[in-house]
Chain A
């Protein structure tokens, strides 16, 4: 099946993400159902790609496969040149350190302050002193406009603030790829807009590719490229 990837183009090998002929199934035997059908997708460094499509078409599934959270069943997924098809647990775990993830819910650690939550991201960086990592966490929080809320627990932050902490946490690990699944779903439209703008500008600064799933039509303009998915197939436009 790996052999199906016959001639990786020059573009694909330098790409942040290169997906070719990716198919995925859920369930076993009679319950087995195909949710991805031969998906091809390339994201170049620094490119912001927005993924839309009806509910249940397989967007989250694609994201988890690119994010090395699930093992690839068929086809090829290469992230930073690393083939994920057949990659073991350890390879995927190490790769995830370079992938920032932002979830629909904020998924912050309830027992940690905003600063400590962000430091859980910068703690993944090797060879830095504790103080350096803490300073970075503070800088990221300032960058997302939460310089005054360092010591607050998630419990005491608003939804938008929590999502911004989550962005800071994702970026603090200096990822080369950012995956976001409906990061604005829990926010009102104005806050959502702010969060997405922030995400885009910070990702641009870092030269970090972005793959974002969204249903929100008002934020589509941040994209370099829009990709639409239907029934497990991608239809690219522009």
Chain B
């Protein structure tokens, strides 16, 4: 504490900034703008990738089987259902669920337009999602022609949830066949599907009569407590023929995200957008700090003549940059959070202010300010104390 009072000095960096409110305002606006741009671009990027696995994340599975021909959730290929039965031979596998997966055409009962809906077919007595409320609702699927409709599907599918809650019997056509909504579930749209519905295996096969017998698109494998998914996956790989691929649950999600990463320019576009925010911020902060140092050059020279060290004066510029970074980040963070909320309600994209991104953007702003300061400092070398008399 004593040391603090001894080393405390006039807060020159802060006063240099504060006594020029206009310049400070411009600098902060610039930094905040850059920060908001980075938050938005990175948020959209991560949100879009995250949105591609909305449904993936819900499955109650430790390992997942898919066909090696499957490239993504919008083109799931089939594989023999027997593979799941074979997997049961492993002592650490506790249960499996075969799942049919396809995009079918849903007719909006109000406008009569059709739209693709992700349809999952499963045995209603098998666990599908980790959400325990599904077990109860799934019982309604034992009757043929019944479906569970995702009430978070995009509104283009019709006012299904609204009608259902009003107690109406909601019926429509899927793939040209009549279905009735038996219950509502909450899953959320994903990148490849604007809406979802669940149905029993029998109903699914009725809707998709061309499905080869004994063929499924997804196999869920649950392990006994304490089992290591990676180890079991390795064992299954050697045991099962090569007409199936094995993923851990995380690997399954990554596989899907990777598809969108590599097959679209989303990652590139949004990273570029964030990079532009960074560059714009750099230019603004550099301009501000450079003109600030230039304007005060005689004063810096005076301080050097008084015996202040050059390093100390460089520290003043660095502290100015640090103050700018912190003050500029705050509004960017708050605005980012507000805009994320807007995006969530407007597009249902799962865009969250996750701490990692918040830290990343702060890091970028810090680098932006300190880097600009480092360049602006070179101007200080022109402060010659011999020239001030």
- Which A residues lie at the B interface, using CB under 8 A? 60, 63-64, 67, 69-70, 93-99, 101, 103-104, 107, 109-112, 116, 119-121, 123-124, 127-131, 153, 169, 173, 181
Contacts and interface: CB of A to CB of B under 8 A. Distances in A.
A52 B257 CA distance: 82
Interface of B: 2, 5-6, 8-10, 12, 15-16, 18-20, 296, 298-299, 302-310, 385-386, 388-389
A103 B6 contact: no
25 contacts: A60-B389, A64-B389, A70-B386, A94-B307, A101-B305, A101-B306, A103-B388, A107-B299, A109-B303, A110-B296, A111-B15, A111-B18, A112-B10, A112-B12, A116-B10, A116-B15, A119-B10, A120-B306, A121-B306, A124-B306, A130-B5, A130-B8, A131-B5, A153-B19, A173-B307
A67 B5 CA distance: 30
A110 B386 CA distance: 20
B330 to A, nearest CB: 23
B306 A129 contact: no
B342 to A, nearest CB: 39
A95 B306 CA distance: 10
A91 B17 CA distance: 32
Contacts of B304: 93, 96
Contact of B302 (A60, A67, A107, A119): A107
Nearest to B9: A123
Contact of A129 (B6, B16, B299): B6
A173 B6 CA distance: 15
Contacts of B305: 67, 69, 96, 101
Nearest to B385: A69
Nearest to A179: B389
B15 A112 contact: yes
A103 B385 CA distance: 11
Contacts of B10: 112, 116, 119-120, 123
A95 B307 CA distance: 7
B386 A64 contact: yes
Contacts of A129: 2, 5-6, 8
Given A110-B19, A111-B296, A128-B6, 4 more contacts: A69-B386, A116-B15, A124-B308, A130-B6
B5 A97 contact: no
B107 to A, nearest CB: 70
A60 to B, nearest CB: 5
Most A C-beta atoms less than 10 A away, residue of B12, B20, B305, B389: B389
A97 B389 contact: no
Contacts of B302: 103, 107, 109
B307 A127 contact: no
Which of B296, B299, B307, B386 has the largest number of chain A CB atoms within 10 A?
A: B307
A104 B302 CA distance: 12
A119 B303 CA distance: 12
A72 to B, nearest CB: 12
B299 A110 contact: yes
Contact of A173 (B8, B306, B386): B306
Contacts of B307: 93-99, 124, 173
Nearest to A70: B386
Most buried by A among B6, B303, B306, B388: B306
What 10 pairs between A and B have smallest CB-CB spacing? A97-B307, A96-B307, A111-B19, A130-B8, A69-B386, A129-B5, A107-B302, A181-B389, A70-B386, A111-B15
Contacts of A94: 307
A178 to B, nearest CB: 12
Contacts of A127: 6
A98 B307 CA distance: 8
Contacts of B389: 60, 63-64, 69, 101, 103-104, 181
A129 B20 CA distance: 29
Contacts of A123: 9-10
A169 B309 CA distance: 17
Nearest to A98: B307
Nearest to B309: A93
A130 B8 CA distance: 6
A4 B386 CA distance: 26
Q: Which of B2, B310, B388 has the most CB of A within 10 A?
A: B388
A112 B19 CA distance: 9
B5 to A, nearest CB: 4
Nearest to B384: A69
A131 B307 CA distance: 21
Contacts of B303: 109, 120
